[in-house]
Amino acid sequence: MTKQKTLPADPADFPPRALPRKAGRRCLLWSFALLALALGAQAPALSLSAWPLLAMALASRMLPRRGWTAILRLAFLALVVIGGGLLYGWLDSRNLRLALLLVLALKWAEARTPREFALLAGAALLAGAIGMLQWNEWAGLALAWLLPLLALGVLESAAAPRPVFATLRRNLGRMIVALPLMAVLFLFFPRIPGPLWDIGLSFGLPLSLGLEKSNQGLGVSTRLKPGQGQTQTGVAESQPVLVAEFENWVPPTSLLYWRGPVYYDFDGLEWRLDPEYEKGQGRALMRRGWTKASAFAATLARAVQPIHYKIRLTPHERLWLYGLDLPAGLTSESFVGPDWQVLSHRPVREEMSYELSSWLEWEAGGVIAPALRQRALALPEGGNPRLRALGAELAAHAPEERFKTALAALARESYQVRDQFAFQEGPDALDHFWFDTREGNADLYAGAFVFLMRAAGIPARLVTGYRGGKLMALTDYVIVKKSHAHAWVEIWDEAIGWRRIDPVDLIAPQRFADAQPRTARPAPAVVPVVPKPAASPKPESSPAAPSPRQNEAAKPPPASPGITARAPVSVTQSEWHWPDLGDFIGRWIFRLDGETQQSLLGGLDGKLGGGFAWIWLLAGAALSSALVLIARQLAARWRESRRLPPPQREWQRICRLLGQRGLHPQAWECPSDFARRVGAARALWAQAMTEMTKAYTDWRYAAGCEDAPQRLKAGVRRLRNLILADAAPLAQKNQIPGSHS
């Protein structure tokens, strides 16, 4: 087996001189494929105007190699960066991303030496890894394999060019061998709570570095289609929305409801807000809200646990300032909107910093205005007949039992909360979701529950925004990202007013399970407020809100036969499903955080391996590495043997069998001498060995022996049978010195 050249490990193996013409062309193609993949990985975050600029940078390779070409490329890069800075902002992520990709494209255009191509491979690998987060689990996994495969191709072609398919096969083998070690490093490498980038954001890095300005999506959009809030594992969901710094005490993140758009109007296909929200007319909304927090607090019957916090908010082109439920104090140029959000006078187009106060637990009395009651009960003219029928059945119960019965059905049936799911749009989409597929995300459950409550005669509205956040270890900072977008329900209770209901807490309570807060919770401050009668400051409604019992799951009442009969299930728990590999990849690879890592290494909190699962994981990784290495050696040996002619393979096979009997052919020994030594050691094999050796030498050295391969094959078969049938010991005296017994 010939020794193959390995990848260069010394910088001297990448000389600064230009590659030969043929080798340079091959290296250029490999690097172009890698650069194209890196640019494609960044495609979701690039605007259409960026692609012509990148094409111009790549096309600059056709310029003549003169001193002025480098100056021209630098001037082009400077103009693009200056233009992007003036258009988007100097530290805006769009400008920084375009500058990085332009540098890569221009470097490819001027690369000539192996060292330059090696540098380009490393930079393109980094750019592709960043762009990999733009995609879902399957695309991200494909990029994770293709990027290093092409990078290895660039490095190998720069050092020792070889055919494309041979390079791919060779590098793929390297990656497979490295896979167990990579898995061990990935699993055991210490993880801090939150990415390193989040630490920088907590301590003052501009939020615009990690943000794409957008006024679409759950928690910010003025229009929302059911199921629209599906998330993917990517940088879009990891982008920060706000950074909050709490004073004295950080509440459990499950209690943090960052209030955003509140929807009343549903036409069967999408939820819509009032036109003032769409147009950003904050002052028009201010006339229907409260300009002072004290005026709003005067409408509350009870407010408990005030908290004070500072917020840095990313620009989103809308009015929402995302105060926690419910606002107790305002910042300048803000007000409490008619649906209790903290709103700005004008759309948020630049990063903002401000201070707010909120009540974590609250309750309000009052009555709902007739116009608002009618709006909170409105249903589209048609669609979703099964939900309407279920609501009509619930309407036969007492008002207090209606939503409890619906919640009990949610907790009892096989509903699942998923970030990605199959959703069938249409006028009966909520029916199909509620009764058939029974899997969806928070906004789909909340929207369907609002529809059901309205059909049961209970006023309800859909509230969106964000829930929870990432608590940075040993700090008072909480980072809220787009992945924390959430939706919940508020229904009108005649006793206490609007009360919050979050269906996700019943279906998947583990989603918002909290660890112990860093600082001890202070004694709750209770501020009793005299409730206002029907003459509220704002005629639309007097706010009534959840008491401390709002988020507690109602105890399931006796099952209603009618409800069960009208809820046919097309997908049952006993039915077998294909495993959700995308969810598995996302959970254990892309979203493997410190808490999950500790739980896994501890055997899922001691359930497996008695708390020493990490030992078994290491042993499994070592065994896997050994098996992979053995398999690779066997595969290499098999491939090498297949390259030999069949007569040569027959000869080597019989030599290996004789070696197992203690008769090894020596390097200086010709076939005839080896045959005589075998015959001397075992006379029974002498004739068959002589005939087989004669056929082999005829095939290898004599001309015109057409029947030699057939004679060799027959001789090998005869000698093999004799060897296997003979169990007598060898004549040791006839073995030559140095042979193995």
Radius of gyration of the chain (CA): 36
Residue 313, C-beta contacts closer than 8 angstroms, at least 6 positions apart? 207, 241, 242, 321, 322, 348, 351, 352, 353, 354
- Dihedral of the CA atoms 561, 566, 568, 573 (nearest 10)? -40
Give the range among 50-64, 306-320, 635-649 with minimum mean pLDDT: 635-649
What is the C-alpha to C-alpha distance for residues 366 and 361, in angstroms, rounded to an integer? 17
pLDDT band (50, 70, 90) for residue 620? confident
The pLDDT value recorded for residue 724 is: 87
Mean pLDDT, range 433-452, rounded to an integer: 92
Question: Which amino acid is present at 668?
Answer: W
Report the run of H or E that residue 276 belongs to, with start and end: helix 275-279
For 502-596, strand residue ranges (E) read 526-528
Which residue(s) pair with 313 in the sheet? 242, 352
Is the separation of the CB atoms in 263 and 461 below 8 Å? Answer: yes
Q: Could you tell me which of 17, 104, 96, 123 has the C-alpha nearest to residue 61?
A: 104
The pLDDT value recorded for residue 460 is: 95
Report the run of H or E that residue 515 belongs to, with start and end: none
pLDDT digits (tens, 9 = 90+) for 459-495: 999 999 999 988 876 778 888 988 889 999 999 988 8
Q: Could you tell me which of 260, 292, 293, 290 has the C-alpha nearest to residue 277?
A: 260
Residue 462 DSSP label? E
What is the C-alpha to C-alpha distance for residues 577 and 583, in angstroms, rounded to an integer? 14
Query: Is 741 strand, coil or helix?
Result: coil
Q: Which residue has the higher pLDDT, 155 or 336?
A: 336
Residue 422, C-beta contacts closer than 8 angstroms, at least 6 positions apart? 437
Q: Could you tell me which of 325, 328, 322, 321 has the C-alpha nearest to residue 357?
A: 328
Alpha helices by DSSP H, 42-163: 50-59, 67-88, 93-110, 114-132, 137-159
Mean pLDDT, range 697-721, rounded to an integer: 88
The pLDDT value recorded for residue 334 is: 93
Q: Which two tokens stand for residue 658?
A: 């004789």
Give the range among 182-196, 301-315, 399-413 with minimum mean pLDDT: 182-196
What is the C-alpha to C-alpha distance for residues 740 and 718, in angstroms, rounded to an integer? 24
The pLDDT value recorded for residue 605 is: 52
Q: Which two tokens stand for residue 77?
A: 């890069």
Q: What is the helix, strand, coil percentage profile of the chain, to 5?
A: 50, 15, 35
Which residue(s) pair with 636 in the sheet? none
What is the C-alpha to C-alpha distance for residues 544 and 500, in angstroms, rounded to an integer? 10
Residue 15 DSSP label? -
The backbone torsions φ and ψ at residue 478, rounded to the nearest 5 degrees and listed phi first, read -125, 125
The pLDDT value recorded for residue 572 is: 39
**∠ CA 319-217-94, rounded to 5°:** 85
What is the C-alpha to C-alpha distance for residues 168 and 362, in angstroms, rounded to an integer? 64
What is this structure's pTM?
A: 0.58
What is the C-alpha to C-alpha distance for residues 684 and 655, in angstroms, rounded to an integer? 17
pLDDT above 50 (res 22): yes
Mean pLDDT, range 598-622, rounded to an integer: 65
The answer for 452, left when phi > 0, alpha when psi is -120 to 50, beta otherwise, is alpha
Q: Could you tell me which of 496, 550, 543 has the C-alpha nearest to residue 297?
A: 543
Q: Half-sphere exposure of 654 toward its Cβ, with a 13 Å CA cutoff?
A: 27
Alpha helices by DSSP H, 350-398: 370-377, 385-394
Own/partner long-range contacts of 73-76 (Cβ < 8 Å, ≥24 apart): 73/106, 73/109, 73/110, 76/106
Q: To which residue do tokens 């509440």 refer?
A: 251
Mean pLDDT, range 41-67, rounded to an integer: 89
Average pLDDT, the chain: 79
The pLDDT value recorded for residue 558 is: 39
pLDDT above 90 (res 349): no
The pLDDT value recorded for residue 32 is: 93
pLDDT above 90 (res 336): yes
What is the C-alpha to C-alpha distance for residues 736 and 731, in angstroms, rounded to an integer? 11
The DSSP string of 295-360 is: HHHTTEEEEEEEEEEEEEE---SSSB--PBSSEEE--TTEEE-TTS-EEESS---S-EEEEEEEEE
Question: Which amino acid is present at 348?
Answer: V
Q: To which residue do tokens 């943090």 refer?
A: 256
The answer for 210, left when phi > 0, alpha when psi is -120 to 50, beta otherwise, is alpha
The pLDDT value recorded for residue 548 is: 39
The answer for 398, left when phi > 0, alpha when psi is -120 to 50, beta otherwise, is beta
Alpha-carbon distances of 77 from 99, 103, 106, 504, rounded to whole Å:
7, 8, 9, 49
pLDDT above 80 (res 574): no
The pLDDT value recorded for residue 178 is: 79
Is the separation of the CB atoms in 451 and 268 below 8 Å? Answer: no
pLDDT digits (tens, 9 = 90+) for 498-556: 999 999 998 888 888 754 444 444 444 444 444 444 334 444 444 444 443 344 433 44
Proportion of the chain above pLDDT 90, given as a percent: 27
Q: Could you tell me which of 681, 646, 664, 660 has the C-alpha nearest to residue 724?
A: 660
The pLDDT value recorded for residue 618 is: 75
Is the separation of the CB atoms in 458 and 517 below 8 Å? Answer: no
Proportion of the chain above pLDDT 70, given as a percent: 76
pLDDT above 80 (res 220): no
pLDDT digits (tens, 9 = 90+) for 367-396: 888 999 999 999 999 899 999 999 999 999
Q: Which residue has the higher pLDDT, 187 or 384?
A: 384
Residue 303, C-beta contacts closer than 8 angstroms, at least 6 positions apart? 297, 326, 328, 359, 361, 362, 363, 526, 527, 529
416-417 vs 439-440, strand pairing mode:
parallel
Query: Is 112 strand, coil or helix?
Result: coil
Query: Is 68 strand, coil or helix?
Result: helix
- 375 by Cβ neighbours in 10 Å (0-12 / 13-18 / 19+) ranks as middle
Q: Which residue has the higher pLDDT, 339 or 193?
A: 339
Q: Is the peptide bond before 581 cis (omega within 30 degrees of 0)?
A: no
pLDDT above 70 (res 559): no
Is the separation of the CB atoms in 308 and 329 below 8 Å? Answer: yes
Q: Which two tokens stand for residue 564?
A: 């069960």
Is the separation of the CB atoms in 290 and 296 below 8 Å? Answer: yes
Q: Which two tokens stand for residue 616?
A: 């078994």
End-to-end CA distance of the chain: 25
pLDDT digits (tens, 9 = 90+) for 237-286: 567 889 899 998 889 988 999 999 999 999 999 999 988 888 888 888 89
What is the C-alpha to C-alpha distance for residues 171 and 649, in angstroms, rounded to an integer? 28
Give the range among 315-329, 558-572, 581-595 with minimum mean pLDDT: 558-572
